[in-house]
Structure 1
Amino acid sequence: MSPIWLLKTEPDAFSIDDLRDSKNATSGWDGVRNYQARNRLRDEMKAGDTVLIYHSSCAVPAIVGEAVVTSDPYPDPTQFDPASDGYDARSRQDHPRWYQADVQYVCHYPHPLTLKQIQHHPEFADMELVVRPRLSVQKVSERQLQLIRQMCQLVSATA
């Protein structure tokens, strides 16, 4: 089983709608500037991995849909661009510090699964989103993924 990831994004900067509307519904997941998140992305993420898209720093933080990783990790070009918010003067072309991978939109969840719902469900007590909420690249277990999908279907069927 390949890893399952939760990628956090601020919808005012880049939302699941932006991903869906990108060329070929695909975008480089750039701007990761935390070493643990970078290490996971660089060392463990692979093409074909499932991704949950999580909107953070917004009125209702929630898992809003799914994507799939479509490339193996590669150096994040924003680290070399002085005009970019992701610029890092310490990065060198021959020794990049930051990586990204391409992700492709799969679907919106009909009803997003909110952080409050996740925090109050006992099956998610060990989920990184609950115990390590600030990390932008998180692992999700197969059990958690199946429960998230099930809860979204149940919520959308009764909404």
Structure 2
Amino acid sequence: MPKQFWLMKTEPDECSIDDFAKNPTQPIRWDGVRNFQARNFIRDMDLGDHVLIYHSSCKHIGIAGIVTVAKSAYPDPSQFDPRSPYYDAKSSDDNPRWSAVDLVFTTKFPRILSLDELKQLPALDKNPLVKKGNRLSVIPFTETEWNAILEESK
């Protein structure tokens, strides 16, 4: 099956492309997603899929680099921990509501690709990222959209 392409939004003070780059072979668990559509996208991710890391809620907003899925979806452990801000009392071992994936560093872009730049790319015209009102933290990308990002990142 061909690899899939994704974008995941993060606040860099929680998890940034630099956090992945510090230990490039050490996977980082991507957890805490509490939106059902974003969760479903996480469940669709496969080992080896490529993911754009998008920094949000910070000074330099945009795509910062690429990570790869190192472990496909599994029950998010934070949903079971009452001390976690991501705890969900409705989740159970038999019926976990939320999923996580493990991601590993691939590359950091030489510069952040800003949202304004991304909006100028014709290949992204239909992508939810550039549409007003999109709030999803996980977004699928087509291969054409992915290639346009890679070209722009050079």
TM range (shorter): over 0.9
Partner of 1:32: 33
- Which amino acid letter does the alignment assign opposite residue 11 of structure 2? E
Contact 1:53 1:64 (C-alpha < 8 Å) held by counterparts: yes
- Which amino acid letter does the alignment assign opposite residue 136 of structure 1? S
1:123 shift after superposition: 2.5
Partner of 1:104: 104
Residues 56-79 of structure 1: CA deviation (Å, up to 9, x unaligned): 111221100001001121000000
Equivalent residue pairs, number: 152
Contact 2:24 2:104 (C-alpha < 8 Å) held by counterparts: no
Higher helix share: 1
Contact 2:12 2:55 (C-alpha < 8 Å) held by counterparts: yes
TM-score, with length taken from structure 2: 0.92
Q: Which moved more, 1:14-23 or 1:73-82?
A: 14-23
Q: Distance in 1 between matches of 2:119 and 2:60?
A: 13
1:141 shift after superposition: 1.1
Q: Distance in 2 between matches of 1:148 and 1:40?
A: 20
1:120 shift after superposition: 2.6
1:22 shift after superposition: 4.8
1:133 shift after superposition: 2.7
1:100 shift after superposition: 0.6
TM-score, with length taken from structure 1: 0.90
Matches within 5 A, 1:5-16: 5-16=6-17
1:29 shift after superposition: 0.7
Partner of 1:88: 88
The answer for unaligned runs of 5 or more in structure 1 is 154-159
Contact 1:128 1:140 (C-alpha < 8 Å) held by counterparts: no
Superposed CA RMSD in Å reads 1.4
Partner of 1:157: none
Q: Distance in 2 between matches of 1:121 and 1:72?
A: 30
Matches within 5 A, 1:122-141: 122-131=122-131, 133-141=134-142
Q: Distance in 1 between matches of 2:139 and 2:145?
A: 12
Matches within 5 A, 1:115-154: 115-131=115-131, 133-153=134-154
